[in-house]
Amino acid sequence: MKLPVFKNLAKTVSVEAMETALEVLEAYADSPAVKEPEQEVIGEMISNICGAIEMKQMMEEEGMDERTAANTFMQRVMGSIDK
């Protein structure tokens, strides 16, 4: 997961467009022709897009500024890793 990627996506891409990208990436990764190294890259992309969606929703729905949304998301991720 890369915070600068989250920020860029949250600023420049709509939630709907990111959700469409997720659908495409998931379908692509499910192809039997896609090898494990490619699946790892796709998984990283999916993680980044999901993070950006969460961050954008916090900014739009909860009125958080970019920094607060990013910190809140990263704290949630770190909290889930610690468990």
In 1-83, at which residue ranges do the beta strands (DSSP E only) sit? none
Lowest mean pLDDT across 5-19, 31-45, 64-78: 64-78
Work out the angle at residue 68's Cα, subtended by the Cα atoms of residues 75 and 47, and round it to the nearest 5 degrees: 50
Task: Locate 45 and state its tokens.
Answer: 């992309």
Predicted pLDDT at 82: 60
pLDDT mean over 75-82: 76
- Tokens representing 46? 């999916």
Q: What is the mean pLDDT of residues 1-14?
A: 88
Mean pLDDT of 27-43: 94
Cα distances (Å, whole numbers) of residue 14 to 7, 53, 56: 12, 8, 8
Question: Above 90 in pLDDT, residue 24?
Answer: yes
Exposed/middle/buried for residue 9 (C-beta within 10 Å: 0-12, 13-18, 19+): buried
Average pLDDT, the chain: 91
Looking at residue 35, its pLDDT comes to: 95
- Residue that has been written with the tokens 């915070």 in this structure: 3
